[in-house]
Structure 1
Amino acid sequence: MVPDTETAEQWALVNTPLGEPWSGRTRYAAAMYFYKRGELSAEALEVYRLCSRRDSEDPLPIIGERGVESEWLERMEKQKQ
């Protein structure tokens, strides 16, 4: 399945590199997009929210520690390959 242009753009934004100015907020905004589509749980979205003010904070390990969204973590890992 090929993502539409909007989804592809949001996917790139949710993968904004850590440490860039405003990157935490960018990742959170993109995570909200996936939450609204039913592709991300409220618990995982909350982790993105908590990390949004800390540009160098990686939400993925926290999501993993909380055990709230294994499908999302798998999807993120596949994108890295």
Structure 2
Amino acid sequence: MDENDETARNWTLIATPPGEEWSGRARYAAAMFFYQRSEMSAEVLEVYRICSRLDAEDPLAVIRDRGIGRDWLAKLGKAGR
């Protein structure tokens, strides 16, 4: 798998809708990918970690409620997520 395919796959995973079985873990795995590439802060990654076992919880709502991750939210907006 080349880098573009891996990045696209992780964009798909990070956008997994809340409520789907194992969606929290899928989003967290993708979040770790973006964190390791320095595209996400540790604070935002922590939200995805906390939400990883809560499939119905929307990590983006938690991020917004905490007033963190403005850069990450902007990146998602630009990516159409």
TM-score, normalized by the shorter chain, greater than 0.5: yes
**Superposed structure 1 runs of 4+ greater than 6 Å apart:** none
Structure 2: segments with no counterpart, 5+ residues: none
Answering whether residue 21 of structure 2 is matched by residue 24 of structure 1, we say: no
Deviation, structure 1 residue 6: 0.6
Percent sequence identity is 57
Aligned match of 2:67: 67
Within 1, Cα distance between the matches of 2:10 and 2:33?
7
Within 1, Cα distance between the matches of 2:77 and 2:51?
19
Farther off after superposition, 47-56 or 61-70: 61-70
Query: TM-score normalized by structure 2?
Result: 0.88
Deviation, structure 1 residue 79: 3.2
String of CA shifts for 1:34-75, please: whole Å, max 9, x gaps. Answer: 000000000000000111111110001111122221011122
Deviation, structure 1 residue 18: 1.2
Amino acid paired to 1:12: T
